[in-house]
Amino acid sequence: MTCATYCRLSKEDEEKVQESESIQNQKNMLIHYAMDKGWDIWGIYCDEDYSGADRDRPAWSAMLKAAQAGKFQIVLCKTQSRFTRDLEMVEKYIHGLFPLWGIRFVALLDNVDTDIKGNKKARQINGLINEWYLEDLSENIRAVFAEKRRAGKYIGSFPAYGYRKDPADHNHLIVDGEAAEIVRQIYQMYLNGSGTQHIAYYLNGHGVLNPGKYKQSKGLNYANAGERKGQGLWSNVTVGRILRNEVYTGTLVQGTKRKVSYKSKKLADVPKEQWIRVPNTHEAIIDKETFDAVQHRLEKRTHAGGLGEIHVLSGKVRCGDCGSTMIKTSSRYRGERRYYLQCGLYAATRKQPRCTRHSIRLGDLTDAVEEKLKSYIRQLYDPGDMRRFQLDDDTQRRAEGIKKDILAAGQQAAKLTAALRSLYIDKVDGTVSRALFLEMNQGFLEEKNRLSRRVQMLESKLEELNAREAGDRQPEARVKELLKMEPVGRALYDLLVDTVEISEKDVGAKTQQIKIHWRM
């Protein structure tokens, strides 16, 4: 008989300071028991610092895969709780899948052995007791954390950007001078009229590491799952989060999320009125007046610069040379705040520019595009003939072309499937070596995956065209309604304007080309 031994040690076990719970002690006990029984040991699996409720333990998961593959016949543990404290997992594996896989489960100190009839009730009682233990432990930990929060103690793993943990008291925050200076700069730039996107471009252009990369540069084991590997760039979302974080005023805000269950890692938002707020727990980076002024501006802030609505050209304006999205900036002229657009790539690479400014006043651009839009409508609109507003032949041709591409990709995938079958037969016959088979098989599978992704992308494009066709099939009533608006509303821009390209200024001729790409 062949067995796999499994050992586990969690932090709550370590706090008991019991040598009998150590990983090494568990290993020795299991190895000696297996030798006494005459069992061969196929593998020794160990997880340290993992709870018995954790379903993502690496060694545990690896052992289960090997068990399913039939690598051994016995799973050997010190106690059933070492395998799992979760009653659901007891039923799933010990009573469910293990018998199907031909696996016998043995726990030494519990006298658990699935080969012994009548032992099942004892295993279930053990599982229930372990489940109660987990639930009680979870409630106790939650109560301790809540009390620490109410006492103004910081219990998170990583403080907000601008702070670090006090080496003398890890529940207390102290100012990180280098990062705090960037936080102050962000608040000042925002109050001076810069938007969150412009601030992000400015920080990236000056080589400032974003909060995640900054923490890593200080030796912290910090990982952000939402950030692309190798990137250290700021985004408007990150800037906005800093501008809204009350921690910078010296107030500790915790308990904003809670686990939905002690069995799950999923977090749920807590209503704002239930957050735990404790003022004056640490040194402030931003004074209360500045913070309140920023919150007021954030509430009023819009892409149009404070008019309470999204600007009609928001997201549509591109640099005519590099194609980057134009971003909004502002400056004061004789006491008046003026808004401009400039090339996003230029803003992000200002120290070593990869494009030019392409600057244009937002108001001038809006007026010019609106005038061209009205002129375009006058040429296009005929109350007696709305066919010009329907999809043209080019759109239909694009749809037919996409259908042909989908068919071709499907045929190519079918050929690859046939080739895979042939390759497998050659491998069985000995015509192809194992190494060559693995290499060719991997290549075929990668190509099939690429074709599958391409088909999904093409089908998505086709759905988009079909949806557009359905929405624009009878646009007469919609166009007539939109034409009544003065000034022209965003809905009409969305209907007719795809993108607007801005060229660099011709200084000599004092002109700047504005090119509109129409949707119809």
Return the pLDDT at 80: 84
3-state secondary structure 286-344: CCHHHHHHHHHHHHHCCCCCCCCCCCCCCCCEEECCCCCEEEEEEEEECCEEEEEEEEH
Query: What six digits make up the tokens of 324?
Result: 């980057």
Of the ranges 104-108, 132-136, 243-247, 481-485, which one carries the lowest mean pLDDT score?
Answer: 481-485
Predicted confidence (pLDDT) per residue in 267-283, tens digit: 677 787 888 888 988 89
Burial of 4 (0-12, 13-18, 19+ CB in 10 A): buried
Query: Of 67 and 232, which is predicted with more confidence?
Result: 67
Domain CATH code at residue 195: 3.90.1750.20
Of 446, 471, 496, the position where a domain reaches its end is: 471
Distances in whole angstroms, Cα of residue 197 to Cα of each of 117, 188, 229, 312, 406: 67, 15, 21, 18, 38
Local structure of 39: helix, strand or coil:
coil
The total of other beta-carbon atoms located within 10 Å of residue 28's CB is: 12
Query: Of 188 and 479, which is predicted with more confidence?
Result: 188
How many Å apart are CA 103 and CA 145, to the nearest integer? 41
Domain CATH code at residue 429: 1.10.287
Contact 172, 165 (CB under 8 A): yes
Contact 76, 83 (CB under 8 A): no
User: Do 456 and 486 belong together in one domain?
Assistant: no
Of 90, 113, 147, the position where a domain reaches its end is: 147
**Which of left, alpha, beta for 207 (phi over 0: left; psi -120 to 50: alpha)?**
left
User: Do 358 and 496 belong together in one domain?
Assistant: yes
For the chain, report the end-to-end CA distance as a whole number of angstroms: 74
User: Do 373 and 449 belong together in one domain?
Assistant: no
User: Do 288 and 346 belong together in one domain?
Assistant: no
Contact 296, 480 (CB under 8 A): no
Number of domains in the chain: 4
How many Å apart are CA 282 and CA 406, to the nearest integer? 60
Local structure of 433: helix, strand or coil:
coil
Band (pLDDT 50/70/90 cuts) for residue 322 is: confident
User: Do 239 and 225 belong together in one domain?
Assistant: yes
Calculate mean pLDDT across residues 481-499.
66
Burial 63-94 (b: 16+ CB within 10 A, else e): bbebbeeeebbbbbbbbbbbbbbbbebbeebb
Q: Kindly tell me the number of DSSP H helices and DSSP E strands found in the chain.
A: 18, 17
Predicted confidence (pLDDT) per residue in 399-426, tens digit: 777 788 788 777 777 776 666 666 656 6
How many Å apart are CA 185 and CA 191, to the nearest integer? 10
Statement: residue 487 has pLDDT above 70: no
User: Do 89 and 236 belong together in one domain?
Assistant: no
The most confident of 53-62, 219-228, 471-480, by mean pLDDT: 53-62
How many Å apart are CA 380 and CA 475, to the nearest integer? 13
User: Do 510 and 370 belong together in one domain?
Assistant: yes
The total of other beta-carbon atoms located within 10 Å of residue 225's CB is: 4
Please spell the DSSP secondary structure of 225-259, one letter per residue: TTSPTT-----HHHHHHHHH-GGGGT-EEE-SEEE
The alpha carbon torsion through 476, 479, 482, 488 (nearest 10 deg) reads: -170
Domain extent, residue 114, equals: 2-147
Predicted confidence (pLDDT) per residue in 199-241, tens digit: 888 888 888 888 888 888 877 765 554 454 445 688 888 898 9
How many Å apart are CA 479 and CA 495, to the nearest integer? 9
Which segments of 317-454 are extended strands (E)? Answer: 317-319, 326-333, 336-343, 360-361
| Angle subtended at Cα 499 by Cα 495 and Cα 504, rounded to the nearest 5 degrees | 150
Domain CATH code at residue 35: 3.40.50.1390
User: Do 463 and 505 belong together in one domain?
Assistant: no
Calculate mean pLDDT across residues 461-477.
62
User: Do 42 and 6 belong together in one domain?
Assistant: yes
Residue 47 counted as domain residue: yes
Return the closest-CA partner of residue 470 out of 390, 401, 367: 390
User: Do 272 and 341 belong together in one domain?
Assistant: no
The total of other beta-carbon atoms located within 10 Å of residue 447's CB is: 14
User: Do 95 and 173 belong together in one domain?
Assistant: no
Tell me 506's DSSP state: B
Calculate mean pLDDT across residues 64-68.
93
Return the pLDDT at 406: 82
Band (pLDDT 50/70/90 cuts) for residue 265 is: low
How many Å apart are CA 512 and CA 510, to the nearest integer? 7
User: Do 224 and 179 belong together in one domain?
Assistant: yes
Element (H, E) at 190: helix 177-191
Residue 156 counted as domain residue: no
Of 113, 147, 181, the position where a domain reaches its end is: 147
How many Å apart are CA 93 and CA 104, to the nearest integer? 11
